[in-house]
């Protein structure tokens, strides 16, 4: 009868105090008797146990301590732990630090394959960065590191808020690591336990990701602080996991290996014990391999993987967006400024200039935006600049830049991953280039999606009016389109897209040289489309089917509404609007709509008024949200030169996540079916007597 070999393993648990824990593990014909001694941070007791049992047991495991603190290029030995390891003459001592490093980095890399930008600019709080050997891997992924090491080691309620502070703290405590002071951690923690728990809970509330060890979770008295957080830890017992999930933790990532084949009871599991078992198996098999090579062989042979890895799609991502009043009328909507509606012009002018100097501030937020495809949620902070377009034109550009950068810096501190510029803030100066250069987070103007949404709305309304047919030979629509402000960022891309679908296009802008340059681009892009160049749109209005205006006009009327062809569609995406409400009313046979706005996916909630019926948002704001949802933290739309491919890309991205064109708006509010039908009926009547221009004058080039 074969009697199974028996080996004894003693685990010294430095992070818990209490009665001994006993267990048995049967593995590969060996019965391991495990005794866990929960001694707290008592190195004197540890020395006594090692002295008494050295040679009588097969392995010592040190759980909850490290023999060195590591950060950056610095490595500082912890002499109390080193002395304890050397104190054992006949029995090997295991800490499991190599296995911690291996699986910590492995799990992090697997996580980042699914969410490559997840940690970028997120606040990652370490219970102890100095004793987490893979902490710097988070820096490489773009995380903002914070650490509670002073609290962990000395009970000091001091938060280290970046990697420089962590490095300096390690330099400061280097002399102490060789003394008994750090070995007395439990004395300081007991003395300051109440204050320490409050401080740690506060810091966890302010972070996005908390990196800890399961043995340290007991130091957090208020688990409700984990709501909405990602917890990155070594291993959780069933009870610990259930508790965290009950308090609505957003995500749990365990980097401990799934070593179910080793049959270690969860109450005894540790990296050190796993390492000890692997080495004892190596010894029993009389393997010639080093422990590290033998461990890798076991990992491959047993197909050992990190215990649990899930998508982090439930964790909301944050972005920001800047708005401003488009006129004094909108400025009067600001709480406390309703009196501007009836104030004298001089008073209004003074108030308008004064409000423009008010520092940018967080106005509210957009929440519950959720992708229909992935479930990814986005929160968008809304910032307000109180300057109207007229006030901005009178101000120094650098002052506006400073305001926008200040908003980006504030948003960054709140965890925003990128920021969008709305309305005139994306027109002023160099269209976001300088702001992006100075901003701590990527900046986008949103113009790509603005162009896409504008043409989306325009196409839909042209189809609804039903006056346009398709040319069977080349597939182009038999219609004449016009883009006013064609050399601007949105106008240029609009012209490019319309040239691909219409057989005739008129491009209008003040600068003849820029128009001719754009004409050449369009002829190369769409050789079957006729391109006309104008600096004055009004003559060509007589037979134009679709007009898109994309200007930043402040000088008054651009289009003569009375010259517009009956049944034509005008899509006004200019800010301020080019077509005033009273002008639109003069032509009920012409469909005048505002630019396409967007309904984002999810049970969207907006806490502030941005000038649209909730929950619709401006397309430029939607671009910022969709890029964040996708994890594309980049300056997607910038400067006055938009890329046609990016307009197509953001349009497809919106469809992917479930964004839809919002209810079309006119100057008088939401466009109804009855209004469309009435406009069409009036257009049919008017078109019978409408005089088209004489052919000989139609093609005349006017450059004035």
Quote the domain boundaries for residue 227. 97-261+304-308
Residue range 170-197: mean pLDDT, rounded: 65
pTM assigned to the model: 0.69
pLDDT of the residue at 704:
30
Q: Are residues 586 and 632 in the same domain?
A: no
Q: Are residues 407 and 332 in the same domain?
A: yes
In a domain, 489, yes or no: yes
pLDDT of the residue at 185:
54
CATH number of the domain bearing residue 440: 3.40.50
The 10s digit of each residue's pLDDT in 187-206 is 444 545 556 778 899 999 88
The 10s digit of each residue's pLDDT in 81-133 is 999 999 999 999 999 999 898 888 888 888 887 777 788 778 999 999 999 98
Q: Are residues 323 and 415 in the same domain?
A: yes
Are 217 and 210 spatial neighbours (Cβ–Cβ below 8 Å)?
no
List of residues 6+ apart from 443 with CB closer than 8 A: 408, 418, 419, 420, 421, 432, 435, 436, 635, 638
In a domain, 364, yes or no: yes
In the structure, what pLDDT confidence band is assigned to residue 427 with cuts at 50, 70 and 90? confident
Name the nearest CA neighbour of 131 among 221, 84, 225, 68: 68
In the structure, what pLDDT confidence band is assigned to residue 429 with cuts at 50, 70 and 90? confident
Name the nearest CA neighbour of 654 among 459, 451, 496: 451
Among 260-264, 283-287, 669-673, which stretch is predicted with the lowest mean pLDDT? Answer: 260-264
Q: Are residues 405 and 466 in the same domain?
A: no
pLDDT of the residue at 663:
82
CATH number of the domain bearing residue 459: 3.40.50.720
In a domain, 59, yes or no: no
For 489-541, what is the HEC assignment?
A: HHHHHHHHHHHCCEEEEEEECCCHHHHHHHHHHHHHHCCCCEEEEECCCHHHH
Among 1-15, 268-282, 371-385, which stretch is predicted with the lowest mean pLDDT? Answer: 1-15
Q: Are residues 586 and 624 in the same domain?
A: no
β-bridge partners, 7 = 32
Helices and strands: H and E segment counts in the chain? 24, 30
The pair phi, psi for residue 379, each rounded to 5°, is: -115, 130
Q: Are residues 349 and 405 in the same domain?
A: yes
Q: Is pLDDT above 50 for 594?
A: yes
Q: Is pLDDT above 90 for 579?
A: no
Write down the mean pLDDT value for the chain.
87
b/e sequence 298-313, b meaning 16+ C-beta within 10 Å: bbeeeebebbebeebb
| Residue keyed to tokens 């939607």 | 622
Q: Are residues 379 and 254 in the same domain?
A: no
Count CB atoms within 10 A of the CB of residue 290.
10
Considering the chain, what percentage of its residues have pLDDT values greater than 70?
Answer: 92
The 10s digit of each residue's pLDDT in 303-346 is 877 765 555 456 788 999 999 988 777 777 666 677 777 788 88
Q: Are residues 456 and 334 in the same domain?
A: no
Strand runs labelled E in 17-105: 21-27, 30-38, 59-63, 68-71, 74-77, 93-94
In a domain, 288, yes or no: no
In a domain, 493, yes or no: yes
The 10s digit of each residue's pLDDT in 615-649 is 899 999 999 999 999 988 899 999 878 889 999 99
Among 179-183, 419-423, 478-482, 665-669, which stretch is predicted with the lowest mean pLDDT? Answer: 179-183
Q: Are residues 104 and 245 in the same domain?
A: yes
Q: Is pLDDT above 80 for 575?
A: no
Q: Are residues 432 and 516 in the same domain?
A: no
In a domain, 457, yes or no: yes
Q: Domain count of the chain? A: 3
In a domain, 287, yes or no: no
pLDDT of the residue at 694:
45
What six digits make up the tokens of 402?
A: 């400073």
Q: Are residues 521 and 560 in the same domain?
A: yes
In a domain, 26, yes or no: no
b/e sequence 317-352, b meaning 16+ C-beta within 10 Å: bbbbbbbbbbebebbbebeebeebeeeeeeebeebb
Q: Are residues 429 and 462 in the same domain?
A: no
pLDDT of the residue at 3:
44
pLDDT of the residue at 375:
87
């Amino acid at each position: 009868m074969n009697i199974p070999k028996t080996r004894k393993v003693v685990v010294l648990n430095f992070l818990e105090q209490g009665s001994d824990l006993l267990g048995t593990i049967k593995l590969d014909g060996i019965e391991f008797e495990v005794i866990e001694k929960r001694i707290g941070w008592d190195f004197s007791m540890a020395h006594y146990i090692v002295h008494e049992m050295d040679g009588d047991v097969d392995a010592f495991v040190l759980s909850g301590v490290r023999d060195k603190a590591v950060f950056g290029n610095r490595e500082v030995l912890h002499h109390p732990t080193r002395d304890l390891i050397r104190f054992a003459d006949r029995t090997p001592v295991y800490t499991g630090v190599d296995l911690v490093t291996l699986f910590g980095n492995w799990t992090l890399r697997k996580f980042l394959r699914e969410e490559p930008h997840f940690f970028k600019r997120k606040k990652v709080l370490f219970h102890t960065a100095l004793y987490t050997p893979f902490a710097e891997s988070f820096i490489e992924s773009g995380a903002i590191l914070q650490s509670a090491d002073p609290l962990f080691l000395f009970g000091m309620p001091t938060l280290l808020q970046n990697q420089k502070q962590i490095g300096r703290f390690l330099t400061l405590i280097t002399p102490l690591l060789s003394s008994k002071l750090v070995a007395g951690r439990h004395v300081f923690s007991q003395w300051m336990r109440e204050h320490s728990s409050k401080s740690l809970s506060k810091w966890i509330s302010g972070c996005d990701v908390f990196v800890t060890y399961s043995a340290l979770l007991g130091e957090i008295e208020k688990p409700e602080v984990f709501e909405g957080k990602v917890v990155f830890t070594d291993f959780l017992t069933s009870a610990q996991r259930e508790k965290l999930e009950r308090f609505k933790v957003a995500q749990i990532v365990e980097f401990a290996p799934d070593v179910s084949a080793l049959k270690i009871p969860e109450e005894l599991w540790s990296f050190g014990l796993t390492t000890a078992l692997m080495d004892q198996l190596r010894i029993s098999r009389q393997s010639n391999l080093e422990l590290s090579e033998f461990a890798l062989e076991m990992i491959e042979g047993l197909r050992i993987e990190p215990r649990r890895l899930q998508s982090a799609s439930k964790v909301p991502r944050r972005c920001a967006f800047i708005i401003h009043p488009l006129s004094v009328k909108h400025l009067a909507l600001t709480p406390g400024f309703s009196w501007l509606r009836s104030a004298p012009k001089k008073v209004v002018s003074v108030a308008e200039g004064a409000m423009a100097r008010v520092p940018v501030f967080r106005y509210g937020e957009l929440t519950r935006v959720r992708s229909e495809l992935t479930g990814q949620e986005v929160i968008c902070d809304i910032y307000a600049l109180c300057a109207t377009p007229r006030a901005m034109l009178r101000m120094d550009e650098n002052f506006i830049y400073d305001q926008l950068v200040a908003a980006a810096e504030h948003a960054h501190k709140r965890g925003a991953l990128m920021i969008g510029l709305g309305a005139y803030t994306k027109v002023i100066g160099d269209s976001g280039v300088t702001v992006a250069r100075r901003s701590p987070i990527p900046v986008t103007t949103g113009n790509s999606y603005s162009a896409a949404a504008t043409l989306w709305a325009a196409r839909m309304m042209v189809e609804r009016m039903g006056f346009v047919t398709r040319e069977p030979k080349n597939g182009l629509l038999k219609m004449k389109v016009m883009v006013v402000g064609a050399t601007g960022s949105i106008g240029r891309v609009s012209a490019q897209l319309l040239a691909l679908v219409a057989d005739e296009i008129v491009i209008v802008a003040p600068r003849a040289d820029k128009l001719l340059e754009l004409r050449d681009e369009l002829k190369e892009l769409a050789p079957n489309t006729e391109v006309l160049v104008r600096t004055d749109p009004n003559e060509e209005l007589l037979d134009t089917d679709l007009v898109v205006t994309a200007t930043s006009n402040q000088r008054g009327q651009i289009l003569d509404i009375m010259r517009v062809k009956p049944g034509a569609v005008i899509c006004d995406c200019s800010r301020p609007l080019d077509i005033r409400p009273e002008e639109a009313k003069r032509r009920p046979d012409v469909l005048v709509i505002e630019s396409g706005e967007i309904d984002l996916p999810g049970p969207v909630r907006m806490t502030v008024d941005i000038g649209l019926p909730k929950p619709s948002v401006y397309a430029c704001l939607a671009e910022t949200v969709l890029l964040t949802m996708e994890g594309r933290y980049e300056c997607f739309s910038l400067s006055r030169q938009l890329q046609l491919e990016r307009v197509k890309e953001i349009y497809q991205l919106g469809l992917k996540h479930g964004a839809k064109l919002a209810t079309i708006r006119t100057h008088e509010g939401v466009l109804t079916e009855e209004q469309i039908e009435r406009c069409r009926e009036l257009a049919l009547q008017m078109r019978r007597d409408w005089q088209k221009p004489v052919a000989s004058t139609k093609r005349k080039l006017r450059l004035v």
